[in-house]
Structure 1
Amino acid sequence: MPNATVPAHTAPLTETPAIELVVMDMAGTTVTDDGLVVGAFDTAATTVGLAEDGPERDRARQYVQDTMGQSKIEVFRALFGDEDRAHAANRAFEEAYDARIVDGVAPVPGAADTISRLRAAGITVVLTTGFSPSTQEQILTALGWTDLADAYLAPGDAGRGRPFPDLVLTAALRAQVSDMTAVAVVGDTSNDIESGRRAGASLLVGVLTGAHSENQLRTAEPTHILASVADLPALILS
């Protein structure tokens, strides 16, 4: 397929392979949450005794931004060290996030249509997240998306979170793909891209609707960068 079908700012790719499975991130990729992650983190950090202002809080906030897409419990382990403190922070984070899901989450424009079009073309679509399975379920319920994709995975029920390959590999096993080159991974963070790379996916697609900038995404060397997941069918189905 000629490169002319791909937006000019994407990384070069001479031919798009036949895709059987698309593994898509949720928050920032298919779902917007209006800053809920950072707000919930601040609640969690205060709960476990981190000063509300100052350099330590600023460094922690920056770490949360840099590690967007990763399993939240792993982020808290890295920040707070102590296992009990990490789990206390994770519980507070989930409670704060879950309390605002109904009013705070919305679909990225065109995301639901993209998923439906891919599935109608015979491609399996799996939505993944760095949140817990229970938080993922609440987001899906709030959006009315419980039947939108073929499957839904979170670190708690599919091994380790990003940047490890577990979510992508689990999705590939369940979809019974013929080869990992038939897998596309789509996300708004460098951790999404790295997870797909480690799993052996051939299409590593970054989108500009979420946490990481184009420059941040490019550090993970995606095969493509798109303005939105709404542009994905033109890449895969054309």
Structure 2
Amino acid sequence: MTTMKTTRANLVVLDMAGTTVADGGLVEQAFAAAAQRLGEDPASMIDYVRATMGESKISVFRHLFGDEARAQAANAAFEEAYGELVDGGRIAPVPGAREAVDELRAQGRTVVLTTGFARATQDAILDALGWRDLVDLTLCPADAGGRGRPYPDMVLAAFLRTGAVDGVQQIAVAGDTSYDMLSGVRAGAGIVAGVLTGAHDKQQLQTHGATHVLGSVAQLPGLLAGADR
């Protein structure tokens, strides 16, 4: 007897900054502050920072500074600066994001939030938004072996830790950067949705593997409901 296979996306892995969290350019501001604290000119590096939005921040600093000690110092300065901006009330949900998560869960899906930030910064954002209990699981690169996007590790960690689905084709990934798209594709996710509320445009998202491009994460529950079979 053949068992009918389902491709319903019962595991949804969502990026934070730019996808569910509107940070108003705080990543660039925190990077500039970190570079200045180390005596570097942020203007010479900002293009690379923009191109690698979504990547683990320590990986970005390793590329920019080369030396591990200097990269760690830059990352610590970045996390401190970003935390100060969060504490100053400079962060808010993307309009409709919380409602979208609630709807996804009401549809019977497991929702995971991921980030390229360190755990302390991720927790500060969750606390500032009152999102500690919003989703089933939150992950940062350190929770998945230390590699962030564009590696598939956080998506696969969500798959393994939640046990929500039988195969990776039943995963939906959503994010605002090309690295979000790459991580979803490399993990084998059945749906890789780009959103236009963050760093990268439609062409960048599609070039890096987006199966769908949405105006915002608020449209994701409708997309997944229509794709269920």
Same fold (TM over 0.5): yes
Among 34, 55, 80, the residue aligned to 1:95: 80
User: What do residues 155-211 of structure 1 show as CA deviations (whole Å, max 9, x unaligned)?
Assistant: 012121000010000000112120100000000000000001111101010000001
Of 185-194 and 93-102, more deviation after overlay is shown by 93-102
Aligned to 1:168: 155
- In the TM superposition, what are the counterparts of 1:72-87 in structure 2 within 5 Å? 72-87=57-72
CA distance in 1, matches of 2:66, 2:204: 26
User: What do residues 14-72 of structure 1 show as CA deviations (whole Å, max 9, x unaligned)?
Assistant: xx931110000000000011111101101111122213xxxxx4341000000000000
User: What do residues 97-128 of structure 1 show as CA deviations (whole Å, max 9, x unaligned)?
Assistant: 00010311100011101111111111000000
- In the TM superposition, what are the counterparts of 1:25-64 in structure 2 within 5 Å? 25-51=15-41, 57-64=42-49
Aligned to 1:140: 126
CA distance in 2, matches of 1:25, 1:101: 17
CA distance in 2, matches of 1:169, 1:157: 11
Aligned to 1:179: 167
Aligned to 2:107: 121
Among 209, 218, 235, the residue aligned to 2:223: 235
2:150 counterpart letter in structure 1: P
1:68 counterpart letter in structure 2: M
Aligned to 2:3: none
Aligned to 2:10: 20
Among 117, 121, 124, the residue aligned to 1:131: 117
- The answer to whether 1:157 aligns with 2:143 is yes
Total equivalences in the alignment: 218
CA distance in 2, matches of 1:58, 1:97: 18
The unaligned stretches of length 5 or more in structure 2 are: 1-5
How does the TM-score come out when normalised to structure 2? 0.93
CA distance in 2, matches of 1:221, 1:42: 30
Secondary structure of 1:74's partner? Answer: helix
CA distance in 1, matches of 2:28, 2:202: 20
- The answer to whether 1:206 aligns with 2:185 is no
- The answer to whether 1:221 aligns with 2:206 is no
1:134 counterpart letter in structure 2: A
1:201 counterpart letter in structure 2: A
2:220 counterpart letter in structure 1: L
How much has 1:221 moved relative to structure 2?
A: 2.2
Q: Is the 8 A contact 2:185 2:209 kept in 1?
A: no
Secondary structure of 2:209's partner? Answer: coil
CA distance in 2, matches of 1:173, 1:147: 20
CA distance in 2, matches of 1:63, 1:149: 32
- What percent identity do the matched residue pairs reach? 57
Secondary structure of 2:45's partner? Answer: helix
CA distance in 2, matches of 1:144, 1:101: 13
How much has 1:214 moved relative to structure 2?
A: 1.2
CA distance in 2, matches of 1:186, 1:28: 11
The unaligned stretches of length 5 or more in structure 1 are: 1-15, 52-56
Tell me how large the CA RMSD over aligned residues is: 1.1
